Amino acid sequence: MSLVTNGIKENRVAAITLGCKLNYAETSTIIDMLAEEGWLPVDIDDGAELIIVHTCAVTGQAEQKSRQQIRKIIRKNPGSRIAVIGCYAQLDPERLAVIDGVSIVLGTIDKFDISFYTGEYKSEKSGAIVRVSPVRDLHNTAIPGSSMLCRPEKGRTRAFLKIQDGCSYGCSYCTIPNIRGRSRSVPLDLVLARAARIAEAGYREIVLTGVNIGDYRDAGVNFASLLKRLEEIEISRIRIGSVEPDLLDDEVISAVASSKKIMPHFHLPLQSGSDAVLKSMGRHYDTATYRKRFMRAVEAISGCGIGADVMTGYPGEGEREFDEMYRFLEALPAAYLHVFTCSVRPGTALSRQVAGRELRTVPHAEVASRASKLAALARNMELNFASSFVGKRLRVLFEERTGRADGTISWGGYSENYLRVDVGLDAGVISDGMRGAVHEVLVEGIGEDLHLQGRLLS
């Protein structure tokens, strides 16, 4: 029977994750490792003795959001121990350690030793325990943190699987290599073992994640061969996270085209549609290569959905470069766009170029106007792509139940090519079995929210 003091339950752990799919995959692993040590995972409002905040530092806004989340958690859980981990902790540990109520600050690799710092470890110094290994230590270290325990998480049908970490690309605006080190891959046998555990835990879809997953290589096994090996896992769906365009080669495209399990969907970060800006960013492709790879996938894989990240306001992006990007995107049959504005991050090549006046920043008002033009274009592109499936059949993995104003029930999920699809069911219909089920749907229309509306066929 666990002790309860001031509403705080001993040996209970909860976590909140900010940022990317990789952070979510790592949080699951960390909680699994703690559960193997006897901690009981609970929800964030269950009075856990230990609360983990997994931070993000990809932009200035992400850092601010992390600080706000930390303070909110501390206010709501005065008796809990708060551990702040991950990218922001790696980048600026001291700033987080001085937040009143923070007990532990752990960097990119140290976070996997959390059970040590929450156990018998006693810090000589007062205040928060701070453990942040220098990035140079990351470069050649094996990727820490693996657990063969894999708990099904309530209401989740999809699990993130970390296959790679770090990046050796060095894009001028990016701070991730400063936080996560150079590219390293999780050994193949560990990837396959964890994937099998995820399938046994009842998840229906695995999402492959990392920083630069297309750069996967272990003992002669590259990304395309890894995809083929994952076919042996007893699971319905395998989804690829984000792939760098120059790594979406013919081998990867044909591995997906010939697979029944790997979903016909790619997230292909473009960043800019201007060759001059791509060059300035240090990206590994130009617009011609991007379009060639994109169209090769669309032609080879039926119904393939490809989404892209685009960034505007990059220092040196003039009106001509922005127009080039806009016209490039207009001609791209993308399924969706994620639009970002450039954030000049400390410690990056870009921050040095701006400080050295080699590149001029774009005025905020101009950045805002460009971002809203791209957002309007993004909506049209998404509408065009989604509308092309009206009247067609899609296989949908259902994950979310919502009540409608007219009293009927709506179940929502994602198609294989990552379109959001909702189906309505009469209130009386027993539908608990819908969560985690894959059903064929006839698409009948598209809603204001650009969700496809359909009817269950099977």
Segment lying near ligand SF4 (by CB under 6 A), choices 101-109, 167-175, 289-297, 426-434 = 167-175
Minimum CB separation of residue 180 from ligand SF4 in Å reads 8
Our CB check for ligand SF4 shows the closer of 141 and 431 to be 141
Minimum gap (Å) between residue 336 Cβ and ligand SF4: 19
User: Which tokens sit at 97?
Assistant: 């350690």
Taken in order 215, 219, 220, 226, the sign of the CA dihedral is: negative
CA distance 317 to 278: 10
The binder of ligand SF4 chosen from 160, 169, 389, 398 (CB under 6 A): 169
Cα dihedral 387/393/399/405 (nearest 10): 60
Of residues 31 and 325, the one with the C-beta less far from ligand SF4: 325
Closer residue to ligand SF4 (CB): 107 or 245: 245
In angstroms, give the least distance from the CB of 210 to ligand SF4.
10
Among 84, 167, 256, 441, binds ligand SF4 (CB under 6 A): 167
User: Hey, what are 37's tokens?
Assistant: 């040590």
Inter-residue contact 311 to 283 (CB < 8 Å): no
Of 118 and 272, CB closest to ligand SF4: 272
> First-to-last CA distance in the chain?
46
Which span sits near ligand SF4 by CB under 6 A: 131-139, 170-178, 296-304, 321-329?
Answer: 170-178
The torsion defined by the Cα of 271, 276, 281 and 286, in degrees rounded to 10, comes to 60
Q: Is 311 in the site for ligand SF4 (CB under 6 A)?
A: no
Per CB under 6 A, which region of 165-173, 370-378, 389-397, 438-446 contacts ligand SF4? Answer: 165-173
Q: Least Å distance between CB 172 and ligand SF4?
A: 9
Tokens 């200035």 belong to residue: 60
Grouping H, G, I as helix, E, B as strand and the rest as coil, residue 350 is: helix
The CB-of-307 to ligand SF4 minimum distance in angstroms stands at 15
The binder of ligand SF4 chosen from 145, 177, 305, 313 (CB under 6 A): 177
Site for ligand SF4, residues 225 to 254, rule: CB under 6 A: 244
Considering the rule CB under 6 A, would residue 176 count as an interface residue with ligand SF4?
yes
- Output the smallest distance, CB 413 to ligand SF4, in A: 29
By C-beta, is 15 or 186 nearer to ligand SF4?
186
Query: How many residues does the structure list for the chain?
Result: 458
Other Cβ atoms closer than 10 A to 142: 12
Report DSSP letters for 251-269, one per residue.
Answer: HHHHHHHT-SSB-SEEE--
107, 54 Cβ separation under 8 angstroms: no
DSSP labels for 398-458?
A: EEEEEE-TTS-EEEEEEETT--EEEEEE-TTS--GGGTT-EEEEEEEEE-TTS-EEEEE--
Least CB distance to ligand SF4 at residue 366 (A): 23
Residue type, 182: R
Tell me the residue ranges of DSSP E strands in 263-304: 265-267
In this chain, which of 41, 144, 152, 170 binds ligand SF4, going by CB under 6 A? 170
Which range in 8-16, 41-49, 174-182, 306-314 contacts ligand SF4 by CB under 6 A?
A: 174-182
Residues 188-217 that bind ligand SF4 (CB under 6 A): 211-212
Structure-block tokens of residue 86: 């991950």
CB of 105 to ligand SF4, least distance (A): 23
Alpha-carbon distance of 81 to 292, in angstroms, equals 51
**Smaller CB separation from ligand SF4, 177 or 315:** 177
Stretch that binds ligand SF4, among 166-174, 319-327, 386-394, 408-416 (CB under 6 A): 166-174
Nearer to ligand SF4, 20 or 34 (CB): 20
Place of tokens 């990035």: 135
Give the one residue of 25, 84, 171, 268 binding ligand SF4; rule: CB under 6 A: 171
| Helix, strand and coil percent figures for the chain, each rounded to 5 | 35, 25, 40
Assigned token pair, 425: 């069911």
Nearest CB to ligand SF4, comparing residues 182 and 237: 182
Of the candidate residues 174, 248, 367, 441, the single one contacting ligand SF4 (CB under 6 A): 174
Size of the site for ligand SF4 (CB under 6 A): 10
Q: Minimum distance from CB of 176 to ligand SF4 (Å)?
A: 4
CA angle 21, 280, 269 (to 5 degrees): 25
Give the shortest CB-174-to-ligand SF4 separation in angstroms. 3
- Which one, 52 or 174, has the nearer CB to ligand SF4? 174
Whether 183 contacts 214, CB under 8 Å = no
Is residue 387 within 8 A of residue 329, CB to CB? The reply is no
Indicate the residue among 50 and 135 with the shorter CB distance to ligand SF4. 135
Strand partners, 8: 5
Binding site for ligand SF4 (CB under 6 A): 167, 169-171, 174, 176-177, 211-212, 244
